[in-house]
Amino acid sequence: GAVVSQHPSRVICKSGTSVKIECRSLDFQATTMFWYRQFPKKSLMLMATSNEGSKATYEQGVEKDKFLINHASLTLSTLTVTSAHPEDSSFYICSARGWGLANTGELFFGEGSRLTVL
C-alpha cells in the first residue's frame, strides 16, 4: 500500500501555544488529504478535507480559524492547532487519497500525532 508519513508522532505543549502537524504522501501524489481527530475509545471524526492549492472544507462544528490547514503541494498537508487548550488534546490522524484511487475511495493513513496540551 501507499505510504503516508505524519510528524510529529507526539507533541506536548503549553496552553495557548500553536502546534503544527505535517502529513506527507511519500510514494504517491495525493489528490485529497483528510484530517481526523480521535478521542480515547471513540471513533475517527473527520475534521476537514483539503485539496492541493485550495481552501480546506471543514466539517460542521470544526473551527477553521483554530485548525488551520494548508495543502501546499500534492505531497504535503499541514494542520496547525492555534492557541491550543487542554480540550484540544487528542489523536490527530491524516489520510490521503491518490490519483487512480478516487474510484475506489480507498484511504491511506498516517501514523497519527498525539497532542497533549498542558
Residues that bind other proteins (CB under 8 A): 1, 6, 31-32, 34, 42-44, 46, 49, 51, 57, 91, 93, 97, 102-112, 114
Of 51 and 80, the one with the shorter C-beta distance to other proteins is 51
To other proteins, the closest distance from the beta carbon of 111 in angstroms equals 5
To other proteins, the closest distance from the beta carbon of 20 in angstroms equals 18
To other proteins, the closest distance from the beta carbon of 8 in angstroms equals 14
Give backbone dihedrals phi and psi of 30, rounded to 5 degrees, phi first: -90, 120
Of 78 and 95, the one with the shorter C-beta distance to other proteins is 95
Q: In what order do the strands lie in the sheet with 76-81?
A: 4-7, 19-25, 76-81, 67-73
DSSP 55: P
Please enumerate in sequence order all residues whose Cβ is within 8 A of that of 7, keeping only pairs 6 or more positions apart, or say none.
Answer: 21, 22, 24, 113
